[in-house]
Amino acid sequence: MSDWRSIPSENKHREFLEKFSAILIDFAFESVSRDNPVSRWRSASYLQEILNFDLLEEPKPQKDLLLLANKILKYSVKTGHPYFMNQLFSGLDPYGLAGQWLTDALNASVYTYEVAPVLTLMEKTLTRKLLSMFYKNDNGCEFGDGLFCPGGSFANGTAINLARFFFRCEKKDSLVKPTLFASEDAHYSVSKWANLCNVDVVLVKTDDLGRMSVDNLKICIRQEQKKGSSLFMVMATAGTTVLGAFDPLIEIAEICQDLKIWLHVDAAWGGGLIFSKKHCGLLRGIERADSILFNPHKLLAVPQQCSLFLTKHNNILTEAHSKGATYLFQKDKFYSADLDPGDKYLQCGRRADVLKFWFMWQAKGSLGFERHIDHLMSLSAFFKDEIEKKKHFELVTQPCFINVCFWFIPLHLRDKDSISNYEEELSKVAPKLKGRMTKRGSLMINYQPLREKPNFFRFVVQNSGTDMQDISYVLEELENLGESL
Amino acid sequence: MSDWRSIPSENKHREFLEKFSAILIDFAFESVSRDNPVSRWRSASYLQEILNFDLLEEPKPQKDLLLLANKILKYSVKTGHPYFMNQLFSGLDPYGLAGQWLTDALNASVYTYEVAPVLTLMEKTLTRKLLSMFYKNDNGCEFGDGLFCPGGSFANGTAINLARFFFRCEKKDSLVKPTLFASEDAHYSVSKWANLCNVDVVLVKTDDLGRMSVDNLKICIRQEQKKGSSLFMVMATAGTTVLGAFDPLIEIAEICQDLKIWLHVDAAWGGGLIFSKKHCGLLRGIERADSILFNPHKLLAVPQQCSLFLTKHNNILTEAHSKGATYLFQKDKFYSADLDPGDKYLQCGRRADVLKFWFMWQAKGSLGFERHIDHLMSLSAFFKDEIEKKKHFELVTQPCFINVCFWFIPLHLRDKDSISNYEEELSKVAPKLKGRMTKRGSLMINYQPLREKPNFFRFVVQNSGTDMQDISYVLEELENLGESL
């Protein structure tokens, strides 16, 4: 008989859930072990055959479900493994994982106090804390506002919407050809969401280190002013995706202030530095931003997804977004409607992404996050030093943050950079090595081209379980993989 | 010493995770027990005092973290409880919960095959299956496309963006005053996201049952045509939020076809009916939609969040959204780039919402979902019959779906509907009862006004653990709560 009811029943499900969670706990330790591969690469057709994803009429028994779970775990990439360095997230934080599991058990949607009393208060406290950290506002008064977003792209889109709303309110004017500025190294979500919001984007040139050129920004502004565009925002980045560059926030803030336009700082990647006394200087000027995007799921290794949009404007989220839906935000509730956060959101139903972050923070303290970051920065500095020492490797740019971009130079290309097809040949190296490492399961590290620069690797690390020996391993493994090229 | 590393360590964390998951498994059964309250209402100040949400410098020890978790569970609303009928989601499906826990252990982001091989294939299979069900396309060929979205609001916004893109491509024209039509009972996200996308919304009147009036739609269209607006889409609803009404899809589809404009059907709530041979007739005409929103986390009781955007157009997601970011979607990968779904999304990093749904489907089979829905529809029909029988209650409209909207008529208002302040007095009843039931923890059911109709209750059920006795309990409890009014 089909187990169709959407509620757990003691006699049918307890043993199943116990076995299931035991499998997951074993996985948590095995998947991060250096004795096990970071991935077990298989072709799509192989996976389709052994997993059989088809959705059928008939139910499967519990023993088959446990087998399926085991296969899913086996053939998925181990993003918590110390050798997973492929994305701007990694690690498998034990308290973050516990926080996720707790979130799932609650199965809540965070829009009203009545259905999510604990979670709405938790969101409020955590948002206020981050506002006080980023905006250096410690006097305890209500300052600014924030949203939890399903990822950084969404938060960047929200910023565009608010900047436009702000412009309309300030200038009491509709916008002709509304135009925003972002650097050519800004995240691609800026262009995607500008399309959605129906505004134009002007891409400002970057300097050698990948930072927005203030001179070029000024030129772009003048050009757009001549065209009669409505300039309404600058999107700066604190920690670009590939090079890890920090745009010069103070100079950009001056320009925005002069023009009375919105400054948004995409600190999705770099924002975590706010926890480190030693390294938070990279964020200097961020306190002047009208809005900030910060993804704890990146640098802080909070589980996927945890993304915050913060703004210094007290009421703008409510003013720009609220619709007062009467089925959720009744005016005659038996408690204060101020406790309901939902109406200022662009989402309606919303997963409680706050809980895992809050729980990790309780477990580690701010000091734990600081130590985590300082460790990652040391690893990255060590990696960079090693790259500079070794003749198989060449830095793409001098790093200032976690990202270390480098070429692996195989033997047949060493000291051959004067040959005509050097760059073409060099660009073939990274994809080949990437294929080899993934199939071997020994390492996952990302590569990409950037403008005129041929394919290069990007070292990043967010997993503070990684140590100096792992860094040496990564370098050795790259040499091994590239030996026969 | 702070436990700061973002990786589980066997000797520090195994016992903690085992204790933690044991607490959660106990919670799964206790939280849905009729012997326990659906909520333990406390004021915000009380919760702040006993939970102390503050985020401190110093870490907390594991025993304190377990106590915190217990308090969070205790004071959160039990959305899996059979008496939680407050939202368009409920239940705590054991296989859905297992699927969530598995998703968390993987901590994946679904954009490329290389980092999420199993999950990308799973998404593809499940999306194809739903496309074949909604579009009645069973010949196995590739038809249409789909996205997993962080909620229905986002999916409605995506529809607006695609409809506008389609219009521009078809008419080779920019839009002057782009205008969409939705009924006055359409979800409020339509207006929120129309603002974001910078398009106008015209709200079409509904009939007595809450369905979009086709006559009024025609009138609105003529008016907008006279104004010179660019008409580009109709947003129909299959299962409105409050009344549970189904817009007349076939007639609306005819109009859209004549005008060559996009038809989006928001079936966030009603879409699950596709699994029921007995009840899928309510969705008749949905196969003519250009796009469909369907939230398995509503009617099917999949855990929060699981929301699908489906479109019959094969390539439009890629054409409208792709930016070809070279750090993720390299053209020279060692495997076929067709396997990477990420570039067609408006999100970049993205939680694997597919897994819990897929896992539930394996556990229940399509037949299990069908039985689940047929049971809910029976409960709802029974509830409606009881309401009609009892003199304390009055139906707001005749229901056709799960939603049963009704007034509780207290003794002092019975047969008094001719008195001048009757509606004013009646509108005070639901908020009072809602306060009482929440504080007592005996029931959670939502109320709202709608246009000229004073506050009324909306019965909904998605938890197939609920049975006929529970329905009787709900009615009795409402009578008890309202006795002394």
Chain B residues closer than 8 Å to A308 by CB = none
**Quick one: average pLDDT of B140-158?**
93
State which amino acid sits at residue A291.
Answer: S
First to last CA, chain B: 58
Residues 6+ apart with CB under 8 A from B52: none
Q: Are A304 and B351 within 8 A, CB to CB?
A: yes
Q: What pLDDT score was predicted for residue A172?
A: 67
Question: Alpha-carbon distance A348 to A346, whole Å?
Answer: 7
Q: Please give the C-alpha separations between residue A307 and each of A219, A297, B433, in angstroms, as whole numbers.
A: 33, 7, 37
Question: In this structure, what token pair is assigned to residue B187?
Answer: 């979800």
Question: Alpha-carbon distance B480 to A464, whole Å?
Answer: 57
Chain A residues closer than 8 Å to B133 by CB = none
DSSP code at position B346 = S
Whether B156 and chain A come into contact, CB under 8 Å, resolves to no
Q: What is the ipTM of this complex?
A: 0.97
Half-sphere exposure (Cβ direction) of B331: Cα atoms closer than 13 Å: 6
**Quick one: average pLDDT of B248-270?**
98
Q: What pLDDT score was predicted for residue A110?
A: 97
Q: Are B47 and A371 within 8 A, CB to CB?
A: no
Strand spans (E) along B31-73: none
∠ CA A156-A351-A110 to the nearest 5 degrees?
Answer: 100
Q: Are B77 and A463 within 8 A, CB to CB?
A: no
Question: In this structure, what token pair is assigned to residue A182?
Answer: 């972002």
Q: Are B372 and A6 within 8 A, CB to CB?
A: yes
Whether A51 and chain B come into contact, CB under 8 Å, resolves to yes
Whether A372 and chain B come into contact, CB under 8 Å, resolves to yes
Helix axes A44-51, A62-75, angle to 10 degrees: 160
Question: Confidence class of residue B1 from pLDDT cuts 50, 70 and 90?
Answer: low
The nearest CA of chain A is from the CA of B274 a distance in Å of: 13
Q: Are B150 and A150 within 8 A, CB to CB?
A: yes
Cβ contact B446:B458 at 8 Å: yes
Chain A residues closer than 8 Å to B321 by CB = 192
Among residues 386-425 of chain A, which lie with CB inside 8 Å of chain B? none
Nearest to A326 among B56, B94, B449 (CB): B449
Nearest to B4 among A17, A87, A371 (CB): A371
Sign of the Cα pseudo-torsion (B130, B135, B139, B143, in order): negative
Question: Confidence class of residue B484 from pLDDT cuts 50, 70 and 90?
Answer: confident
Chain B residues closer than 8 Å to A18 by CB = 25
Nearest to A59 among B106, B187, B363 (CB): B363
Cα A102 to chain centroid, rounded: 22
Q: Are B121 and A198 within 8 A, CB to CB?
A: no
Task: Give tens-digit pLDDT for A236-273.
Answer: 999 999 999 999 999 999 999 999 999 999 999 999 99
Share of chain B above pLDDT 70, in %: 98
Compare all CA atoms of chain A with the CA of B110 and give the residue at the minimum distance.
A304
At residue A70, the 3 state secondary structure works out as helix
Q: Are A68 and B359 within 8 A, CB to CB?
A: yes
Q: State chain B's mean pLDDT as an integer.
A: 96
Question: Confidence class of residue B160 from pLDDT cuts 50, 70 and 90?
Answer: very high
First to last CA, chain A: 58
Cβ contact B27:A21 at 8 Å: no
Whether B250 and chain A come into contact, CB under 8 Å, resolves to no
Among residues 433-452 of chain A, which lie with CB inside 8 Å of chain B? 434-435, 438, 444, 446-450
Nearest to A25 among B17, B116, B325 (CB): B17
Whether A16 and chain B come into contact, CB under 8 Å, resolves to yes
The number of beta carbons lying within 10 Å of the beta carbon of residue A214 is 17
Question: Confidence class of residue B248 from pLDDT cuts 50, 70 and 90?
Answer: very high
Q: Are B94 and A463 within 8 A, CB to CB?
A: no
Q: Are B118 and A450 within 8 A, CB to CB?
A: no
Chain A residues closer than 8 Å to B195 by CB = 161, 320
Strand spans (E) along A252-332: 262-266, 291-294, 307-311
Among residues 301-330 of chain A, which lie with CB inside 8 Å of chain B? 301, 303-305, 320-321, 323, 325-327, 330
Question: Confidence class of residue B172 from pLDDT cuts 50, 70 and 90?
Answer: low
Chain A residues closer than 8 Å to B57 by CB = 365-367
Q: What number of residues does chain B have?
A: 485
Whether A364 and chain B come into contact, CB under 8 Å, resolves to yes
CA nearest to A83, candidates A466, A479, A481, A468 = A466
- Strand B262-266 relative to strand B230-237: parallel, antiparallel, unpaired? parallel
At residue B58, the 3 state secondary structure works out as coil
Q: Are A100 and B104 within 8 A, CB to CB?
A: yes
Is the pLDDT higher at A177 or at B15? B15
10-residue mean pLDDT series, chain A (485 residues): 89 97 98 98 97 96 98 98 98 98 98 97 97 84 92 98 92 80 98 96 98 98 95 98 98 97 98 98 98 98 98 96 92 94 96 98 98 98 97 96 97 91 96 96 97 97 98 97 89
Q: Are B75 and A347 within 8 A, CB to CB?
A: no
**Quick one: average pLDDT of B92-115?**
98
Report how many Cβ contacts below 8 Å link chain A to chain B.
Answer: 522
Question: Confidence class of residue B140 from pLDDT cuts 50, 70 and 90?
Answer: low
Q: What pLDDT score was predicted for residue B173?
A: 67
Question: Confidence class of residue B417 from pLDDT cuts 50, 70 and 90?
Answer: confident
Q: Are A27 and B105 within 8 A, CB to CB?
A: yes
The number of beta carbons lying within 10 Å of the beta carbon of residue A409 is 20
Helix (H), strand (E) at residue B149? strand B145-149
The nearest CA of chain B is from the CA of A405 a distance in Å of: 12
Q: Are B367 and A27 within 8 A, CB to CB?
A: no
Q: Are B4 and A109 within 8 A, CB to CB?
A: no
Compare all CA atoms of chain A with the CA of B65 and give the residue at the minimum distance.
A363
Whether B364 and chain A come into contact, CB under 8 Å, resolves to yes
Q: Are A241 and B327 within 8 A, CB to CB?
A: yes
Nearest to B2 among A6, A321, A371 (CB): A371
Chain A residues closer than 8 Å to B196 by CB = 157, 161, 196-197, 346
Nearest to B3 among A69, A108, A368 (CB): A368
Q: Are A118 and B75 within 8 A, CB to CB?
A: yes
**Burial grade of A176 (CB within 10 A; 0-12, 13-18, 19 or more):** exposed
| Substitution target from A2, A4, A63, A154 for chain B, most B beta carbons within 10 A | A4
Question: In this structure, what token pair is assigned to residue A352?
Answer: 């409680």
Q: Are B76 and A118 within 8 A, CB to CB?
A: yes
Q: Are A94 and B17 within 8 A, CB to CB?
A: yes
Cβ contact A311:A290 at 8 Å: yes
Whether A67 and chain B come into contact, CB under 8 Å, resolves to no
Phi, psi (degrees; rounded to nearest 5) at A288: -95, 0
Chain B residues closer than 8 Å to A153 by CB = 346-349
